[in-house]
Amino acid sequence: IVKSVRLFPVPHSCAPQLRKHSATSSQQHNNKTCVPKMDIMFLKTHKTGSSTFLNILFRFAEQHKLKFAFPNNQNDFYYPSSFQRTYVHSYRSGKCFNVICNHMRFNSAEVAKVLPRDTFYVTILRDPAELFESSFHYFSSITPLTWRIPGEDKMAEFLRNPNLYFSPDKINSFYLKNLIFFDLGGDNTLHPDDPRVEESIRLISGNFHLVMLMEHFEESLILFKDIFCWEMDDILFFKLNSRNKSAVSKLSLELRAKALQWNSVDWKLYKHFNRSFWEKVEAYGRERMERDVAELRRRNAEMAKICIDGPQSVAAGSIQDNAMQPWQPFGEKFIVGYNLNKNIDEANQKLCRKMLTQEIQYLKDLGANVWFINILRQVRYIINW
């Protein structure tokens, strides 16, 4: 006998006491009330700069004591399984969370069951050719179908004739085709003209209040700040989890065209949200955007000077503080990181440390249970993998 489980509705909002908003916010000049959004769904897509955004979100949520819906034991919601509410650590019906932001395969109906109705949704996309290049290399050790590709330049060989190598049934094959559409819950093997693609794009547009673009990260953050009613202080950042530049393959025009054709569903998605992105920028005001982006860059450079030792990022082997050691793909060491300045004034010490703390370590600081991934870290440290 299946006992029917009673589902309790999640409250309309579970935002804690709101802080007083300072008068600098642009919306306040227009005399509209501007209440910072505290119920937030961030769909963390792969290889899109989402780790950098996550750090911003972690800091804000920590400062405002927001409640996270965390995964169990690891840093994703059993990706690539489609998200289920029961994947949330300590989930029970009717419990209210403010923020959900770990990797998942999006499933809007289930996500909605753990978040208040006033939740704002945000995600980030990236040019699909660049994304493909990044994903192809980053995940190569866990995508067996790339292992048997012959030659020096496996990616070029793959793109020369993808159907020779690709098979949707092979383990982790989604990393190699329309990965963003897959992350958003879609079937990544659809033909771009399949009506289900248009339909998915329509649903995604309906779900998300903002779709950011990695290529215009600062503009994205300014729009985010405006829509979520945050402040400039809240969106300062250092680029995290990026590859050493010498490990990035520059795509020739020919390879780029092939990569876009191969990932044509993602390309369609990207073009759609590129259009709506620039419409939002237009509505915000081009000049105002330029001014605000310049201000954000100035503030970031100022923070870099205060927080970071040396002029820029360093190789993993030169990172002294364990909290700042980035997670590396298996068998690789090409993700770079930073060293914290030695003499930071007291006022900035905490902020600097948080801005430079990597995702897994920050999750642990926030109280997430990441024992599984920590064991992996330690094993890999011991066997120097």
Ligand X SMILES: *[C@@H]1O[C@H](CO)[C@@H](O)[C@H](O)[C@H]1NC(C)=O
Please, what is the minimum distance in Å from the beta carbon of residue 246 to ligand X? 4
Options 73, 244, 348, 349; binder of ligand X; rule CB under 6 A? 244
Query: Cβ closer to ligand X: 12 or 29?
Result: 29
Options 14, 336, 340, 370; binder of ligand X; rule CB under 6 A? 336
Task: Report cis status (omega within 30 of 0) of the bond before 16.
Answer: no
Query: Cβ closer to ligand X: 90 or 318?
Result: 318
Q: How many residues belong to the site for ligand X (CB under 6 A)? A: 10
In angstroms, rounded to a whole number, what is the distance separating the alpha carbons of residues 174 and 135? Answer: 10
Q: Is 271 in the site for ligand X (CB under 6 A)?
A: yes
Segment contacting ligand X by CB under 6 A, of 12-20, 76-84, 308-316, 364-372: 308-316
Query: Cβ closer to ligand X: 65 or 288?
Result: 288
Pattern 190-229, binding to ligand X, x per CB under 6 A? Answer: ----------------------------------------
Segment contacting ligand X by CB under 6 A, of 140-148, 173-181, 270-278, 300-308: 270-278
Those residues whose C-beta lies under 8 Å from the C-beta of residue 62, and which sit 6 or more positions away, are: 354, 366
Query: Cβ closer to ligand X: 73 or 244?
Result: 244
Q: Is 327 in the site for ligand X (CB under 6 A)?
A: no
Report angle CA 218, 221, 226 to the nearest 5 degrees.
130
Options 4, 17, 22, 31; binder of ligand X; rule CB under 6 A? 31
Options 143, 313, 358, 361; binder of ligand X; rule CB under 6 A? 313
Q: Is 257 in the site for ligand X (CB under 6 A)?
A: no
Q: Is 278 in the site for ligand X (CB under 6 A)?
A: yes
Options 109, 315, 375, 379; binder of ligand X; rule CB under 6 A? 315
For binding to ligand X (CB under 6 A), which residues are involved? Answer: 31, 244, 246, 271, 274, 278, 313-315, 336
